Structures are given as C-alpha cells and as structure tokens.
Amino acid sequence: MQRVVTAEMDLELGASVDLIVQLAAARSVPVSAERLTFTQGDRVFTPTEIVDQSGTRLHRLTGEPGRLEIRYEATIEGQAPAGRASELEAITYLRPSRYCQSDEVFSQARRQFNGLSGHELIVAVSEFVSTRTAYMPGLSQGTDSAVTTLMTGQGVCRDYAHLVIALLRAMDMPARYAACYAPGLQPMDFHAVAEAYLDGAWYVIDATRLANRRSLVRISTGRDAADCAFLSFHGGYVGLEHLRVDAWAVPDAASPDGSETFAPVLPEHTDPTRDDLATLVQMA
C-alpha cells in the first residue's frame, strides 16, 4: 500500500525566533520520496535535522520577522517492520508525565481493570476510553490532561491518547504517545494515538475509532503531547495563520489484465470500520 501525506503551515513571525518543527515522517517510515521547504518571500531556509532516540525527526531553524511558509510532502511505500523495544524505553514509559498522570488515576484504574493484564488489558482500556469519552473538537484546551479528560468525559485525539496512556501506566504496562498522519481520518488533521508495550513490542491503540491503525504514518513519539508538538518556538511571537493536513492511500496501480483499478486496497486500509479492534497492530 502506498500512502501520500502533506502538510501546509504558514506562520507570522514577530521577531527572530527559534523554531522547532515536527512534520516529517519518522526515521523508521519507508519513505520513497519527500520534500520539506521553508520559504519567506524569495528566501529559502535550510533547517538543521535532529533525530531523537525514538526516530523522531526535528527540524530547527531561526526564522526572521514576516510570513514563513512551510510545506511538506512524502510518499510512503509499503510497511517497514516495526523494531523491538528496549528495556530503557519500557522503564521510561512507565513513569507519570505532564499530561499522563498515572499516579493520579491509579486508584480508579485498579478498580476498573482489576485482574486484567496483557492483551485483555489493552482491549479493555481502549474500550473504556472509547465509550466513556465524547469526541468534541474545539472544547478541549492544549493544557488538558488525562485527569481532565477523565473528569469531563470529552476531548480530541490527544486527550483520548493521554487517558489511555495514564490508565495503562497505572496498571504497570508501559505506554507512550505517537503523533501521526492518518489516511481516511475525518475530520482530517494531525492525529494522535497511544501505544502499549507488550512482550517486547509496541501496539497501537486509537480509542477515537476515527482512523484505521494499519494506515497510520508515524511522525513523532514521546511520553505525551509535550514531546510531539508539530511546532514549538522560543524567543518571540509566532502566529499560526494557516494549517492544512492531508493523507491518503493510493490503490494498486493496475489489475492483472493491465487496466486501472481503485479497489479494494483503498477502503480496506483507510476505513476505520474495517479495523479489527481486538487485533494487535504495530506502527513502523
């Protein structure tokens, strides 16, 4: 399956600003073609690429006052085999973090999921968060945490992911946050999911049920959204003037007789209703 992902971001910079952008597909993703540009009028900026321990690619540059246009496009061919997790990762992602306060939801998690472990625990937590949380765009704040989401029962994808992560960590299962492109997502935007650690591997949990896990393209990985922001900056004012994200799967190019075909690859891999939620799925 081939997937194409794009992002457009226009920023208004009020001063010379240190910008850190996380838009590019992660190092592990099998990218066959890619283009990332930063332009300001006739000037083209060349960012510094920094790759963290999880394979997230950060692009850093100093922007000057005025309008900065950022464009990204990549084509992904097939699926790369997911790597094995390290012992250090498992320890890191057991600890409470800024938006995933597993220590504060410990008692409720223990009551709700008493006696569950492994695959059963992953399925139970995913189902609990999915059924107890209403997807409400525009109502959650960037500072909302897993505790907030548990109390209000509403949020967007980042909130669902934070609550899943906090509950799993409270049950002694390492869990982490992943930002990604999601072909078939409605409404289209950057997407966030949780990943649970089981038997040496990481498995995707999307409690929103808005995307098919097999189609996801990883951008960044971290303890929570604080590690995976698509934009962070230091030293001055930055206004987000325009943001557009898109992602789609490309069907097989031709049928055995050489004619064009557009089925069945597209719906199978991008339709959320065709994602078997009881199956463990890994993301490269």
Report yes or no: 165 and 207 within 8 Å, Cβ to Cβ: no
Provide mean pLDDT across the span 92-110: 97
- Report CA torsion sign: 208, 209, 210, 215: positive
pLDDT digits over 214-231, tens only? 999 999 999 999 999 999
Q: Is 181 helix (H, G, I), strand (E, B) or coil?
A: strand
279: phi then psi, degrees, rounded to nearest 5: -90, 135
50 by DSSP, 3-state: which?
strand
* pLDDT of 4 strictly over 60: yes
**DSSP letter (8 states) at residue 101:** -
**What secondary structure letter does DSSP report for 168?**
H
Q: Which residues on neighbouring strands pair with residue 8, listed in sequence order?
A: 71, 244
Question: Which residues are CB-contacts of 143 (< 8 A; sequence separation ≥ 6)?
Answer: none
pLDDT value for 267: 56
What ranges do the domains of the chain cover?
Answer: 2-78+229-267, 87-227
Confidence of residue 261 (pLDDT cuts 50, 70, 90): very low
Q: Which H helix or E strand runs over 40?
A: strand 31-40
Q: What is the pLDDT of residue 184?
A: 92
Give mean pLDDT, residues 69-81: 92
Q: Residue 171 has what pLDDT?
A: 98
Mark 13-51 as b/e (b = at least 16 C-beta within 10 Å): beeebebbbbbbbbbbbebeeeebebebeeeebebeeee
Instruction: pLDDT band for 19, please (50, 70, 90 cuts).
Output: very high
Binning pLDDT at 50, 70 and 90, where does residue 252 land? low
Q: Which pLDDT does position 273 carry in this prediction? A: 84
CATH topology of domain 2-78+229-267: Immunoglobulin-like (2.60.40)
Tell me the per-residue pLDDT of 125-155, one tens digit each, with 9 for 90 and over: 999 999 999 999 988 888 999 999 999 999 9
Residue whose structure tokens are 């246009």: 69
For residue 4, what are its two tokens? 């194409």
Q: Residue 212 and residue 221: Cα distance in Å, rounded?
A: 18
Q: What are 144's two structure tokens? A: 């909302």
Buried b (16+ CB within 10 A) or exposed e, 142-163: eebbbbbbbeeebbbbbbbbbb
Do 87-227 and 2-78+229-267 have the same topology in CATH?
no
Fold of 87-227: C8orf32 fold (3.10.620)
Chain centre distance of CA 170: 22
Of the listed ranges 73-77, 101-105, 136-140, the one predicted with least confidence? 136-140
Amino acid at 148: T
Angle at 23 between CA 83 and CA 8, to 5 degrees: 150
Is pLDDT above 80 for 253?
no
- In this structure, of 182-186, 200-204, 258-262, 280-284, the range with the lowest mean pLDDT score is 258-262
The structure tokens 């719906």 sit at 267
